[in-house]
């Protein structure tokens, strides 16, 4: 009877924690439900992606099966197995990072649950169970999506093992590989929580979350490039020890009966890494279980610097919003995560283009760069401008404590409004113009020499035009308005994204290509001058509008998001 009651409480608490993993704190209950529906849609998309991969790989393997020797097949299967292990690892790591604020019971759990007649063990157990279920859903979905691909590559005339055995070994190895990804994220968060003084934990975990999100986005380019690493794997390159999925591929080869010291070394690395992260994760859970109050009631430390004080402040309204924005981005894991995560997506896109077009393997002194390389370095500023600009705008648009915005509403004045909005302009200029210039100028200089200066000037002007596009309807103090995901219909969003990505990308890329190629800089200079004048005029128009129209504030979070009407 007592056991049954305990089971019911465990189930109830686990369900509560499981639902909380989908709550990012910016949605209402209805919004969170809609978010779950979107997540379910993404699961189906994942399965479709797996089927799409089959179509892509079917032709490649048809050729390999009919090759005159087994060598090409054996090389390709190594790299593709590594990809099939890496992809679920990446997905599980990503979702774990996204919910990393809920990896351990927090202060709210402590305050709400501890007065109730339930033990600490039940709270921790339910939390772990919910996390395992959450990760399990993504692990199983991604493996189901990739099993057809594994089925394809583990069969055929050159295969050394039966197809069912190949699939079984894949699941036996790849599921622990995904568990390794989960444990690695838990271990890093746990180590920080346990090792740092309580007052620094909040800021440190937020920074760690953003760093991991950024690293994962950048890693996606390398995950996608794994199929091109077949030669490196076949030649037993030491470089592959830097890629955790390759360790688990080593385990898979050992289980399939390959007696190769290279695979044994990779498998050893997998075992050591798995045991290490599991020990750290388990250890941090045990320590936190014993010192529950440490994580629950840690003092939330702010800045010990006298922010703004003793600094010469020329414009009070600007300084107020600037310091508010800086403090929010420094301390809010959500805002920092959106900014860093989306920005890293843009950088990953650029890195992927550079990798896939051989810019990294082309060396200076090899003569004039091929046009493929030139067009790649001419094109990469555009995705950087668009994605980094969107990242900055999205992070500023997400609310924090929406009901606290009354202080801005009570102090709004026509004469200071433009100054209060200046921070948004400055941040977007930094992300959409200055950072893309700083990131691409060295690469363009390496490939095209001094002509890169003109191309960079174009990058800067495109960035400023992007800032004007993104700030067209902007009339909000950062973080003070409600946020509704999926405000526009799917068709509208898709069209806008395609337009934003392709049209300015194609035109901008062509213009920068011209600047990098043309012997005479005159046409490029004229284009930069004209576009600068346009950007300047748009800026003046926008600033005049900022003076005339009141700020936008929303007190309440939206009651519901507009769901994707796919049916």
Binding site for another protein (CB under 8 A): 199, 202, 299-304, 306-310, 312-313, 316-317, 319-320, 323-324, 327-328, 331-332, 400-401, 403-404, 406-414, 416, 420
CB of 34 to another protein, least distance (A): 25
Contact 301, 200 (CB under 8 A): yes
**Based on CB atoms, which residue is closest to another protein, 313 or 537?**
313
Task: Compute the least distance from the CB of residue 414 to another protein, in Å.
Answer: 7
* Calpha distance 403→407 (Å, rounded): 9
Q: Specify the residue for token string 């003793």.
A: 310
Q: Which among 109, 113, 121, 117 has a CA at the least distance from the CA of 21?
A: 109
Distance CA 215, CA 208 (A): 10
Instruction: Report the residue number, 293 or 412, with the smaller CB distance to another protein.
Output: 412
Let me know how long the chain is.
567
CB of 557 to another protein, least distance (A): 14
Nearest to 194 by CA among 333, 330, 298: 298
First to last CA, the chain: 46
- Rounded Cα–Cα distance for residues 259 and 241 (Å): 18
**Interior angle at CA 260, CA 257 and CA 265, nearest 5:** 110
Cβ atoms within 10 Å of 113's Cβ, excluding its own: 17
Q: Which is nearer to another protein, 315 or 518 (CB)?
A: 315
CA 525 – CA 511 distance, rounded (Å): 11
Residue 233: strand, helix, or coil:
helix
Q: Which residues contact 269 (CB under 8 A, 6 or more apart)?
A: 241, 247, 250
- Kindly tell me which of 89 and 320 has the beta carbon lying closer to another protein: 320
> By C-beta, is 37 or 311 nearer to another protein?
311
Other Cβ atoms within 10 Å of 438 Cβ, number: 12
On whether the CB atoms of residues 226 and 79 are closer than 8 A, the answer is yes
Q: How far is the CB of 321 from another protein (least distance, A)?
A: 8
Instruction: Give the residue with the Cβ less far from another protein, 199 or 488.
Output: 199
The nearest distance, CB 303 to another protein, in angstroms, is: 7
Q: How many Cβ atoms are within 10 Å of 559's Cβ, its own excluded?
A: 11
299: region left, alpha or beta (phi > 0 left; psi from -120 to 50 alpha): beta
Supply the minimum distance, in Å, between the C-beta of residue 468 and another protein. Answer: 26
Nearer to another protein, 313 or 526 (CB): 313
CB of 334 to another protein, least distance (A): 11
Cβ proximity to another protein: between 419 and 512 the closer is: 419
Smaller CB separation from another protein, 333 or 387: 333
3-state secondary structure of 513: helix
Q: Residue 199 or residue 487: which is nearer to another protein going by CB?
A: 199
In 3D space, the residue among 221, 181, 16, 9 whose CA is nearest the CA of residue 100 turns out to be 181
Distance CA 285, CA 283 (A): 5
Least distance (Å) from another protein to the CB of residue 477?
10
Give the three-state DSSP class for 555: coil
Of residues 95 and 296, the one with the C-beta less far from another protein: 296
DSSP for 452-470 reads HHHHHHHHHHHHHHHHHHH
**Least Å from the CB of residue 559 to another protein:** 15
Shortest reach from residue 314's CB to another protein, in Å: 9
CB 103 to another protein: min, Å: 19
């Amino acid at each position: 009877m007592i056991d049954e009651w305990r089971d019911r409480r465990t189930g109830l608490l686990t369900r509560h924690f499981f639902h909380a993993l989908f709550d990012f704190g910016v949605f209402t209950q209805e919004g969170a439900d809609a978010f779950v529906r979107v997540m379910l849609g993404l699961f189906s998309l994942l399965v479709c992606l797996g089927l799409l991969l089959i179509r892509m790989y079917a032709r490649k393997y048809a050729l390999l099966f009919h090759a005159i020797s087994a060598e090409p097949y054996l090389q390709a299967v190594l790299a593709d197995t590594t990809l099939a292990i890496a992809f679920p690892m990446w997905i599980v790591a990503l979702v774990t990072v996204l919910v990393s604020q809920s990896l351990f019971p927090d202060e709210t759990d402590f305050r709400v649950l501890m007065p109730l007649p339930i033990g600490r063990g039940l709270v921790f157990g339910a939390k772990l169970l919910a996390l395992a279920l959450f990760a399990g859903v993504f692990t199983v979905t991604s493996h189901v999506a990739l099993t057809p691909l594994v089925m394809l590559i583990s069969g055929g005339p050159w295969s050394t093992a039966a197809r069912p055995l190949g699939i079984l070994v894949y699941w036996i190895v790849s599921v622990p590989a995904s568990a390794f990804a989960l444990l690695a994220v838990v271990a890093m968060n746990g180590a920080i929580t346990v090792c740092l003084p309580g007052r620094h934990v909040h800021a440190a975990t937020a920074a760690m979350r953003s760093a991991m999100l950024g690293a994962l986005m950048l890693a996606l380019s390398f995950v996608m490039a794994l199929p091109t690493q077949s030669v490196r794997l076949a030649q037993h390159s030491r470089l592959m020890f830097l890629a955790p999925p390759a360790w688990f591929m080593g385990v898979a080869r050992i289980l399939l009966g390959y007696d190769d010291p290279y695979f044994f070394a990779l498998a050893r690395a997998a075992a050591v890494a798995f045991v290490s992260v599991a020990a750290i994760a388990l250890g941090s859970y045990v320590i936190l279980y014993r010192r529950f109050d440490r994580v629950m009631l840690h003092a939330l430390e702010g800045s010990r610097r006298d922010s703004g004080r003793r600094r010469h402040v020329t414009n009070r309204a600007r300084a107020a919003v600037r310091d508010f924005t800086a403090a929010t981005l420094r301390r809010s894991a959500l805002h920092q995560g959106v900014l860093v995560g989306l920005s890293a997506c843009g950088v990953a896109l650029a890195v992927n283009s550079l990798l896939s077009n051989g810019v990294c393997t082309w060396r200076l002194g090899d003569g004039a760069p091929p046009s493929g390389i030139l067009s790649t370095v001419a094109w990469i500023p555009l995705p950087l401008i668009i994605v980094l600009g969107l990242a900055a705008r999205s992070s500023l648009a997400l609310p924090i404590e929406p009901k606290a915005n009354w202080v801005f509403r009570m102090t709004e004045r026509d004469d200071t409004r433009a100054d209060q909005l200046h921070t948004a302009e400055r941040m977007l200029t930094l992300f959409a113009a200055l950072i893309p210039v700083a990131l691409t100028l060295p690469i363009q200089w390496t490939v095209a020499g001094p002509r890169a200066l003109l191309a960079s000037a174009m990058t800067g002007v495109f960035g400023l035009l992007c800032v004007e596009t993104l700030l067209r309807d902007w009339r909000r103090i950062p973080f003070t308005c409600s946020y509704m995901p999926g405000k526009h219909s799917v068709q509208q969003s898709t069209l806008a994204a395609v337009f934003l990505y392709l049209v300015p990308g194609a035109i901008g890329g062509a213009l920068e290509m011209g600047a990098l190629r043309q012997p005479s800089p005159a046409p490029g200079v004229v284009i930069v001058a004209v576009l600068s004048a346009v950007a300047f005029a748009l800026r003046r128009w926008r600033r005049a509008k900022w003076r005339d129209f009141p700020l936008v504030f929303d007190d309440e979070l939206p009651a519901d998001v507009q769901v994707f009407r796919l049916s």
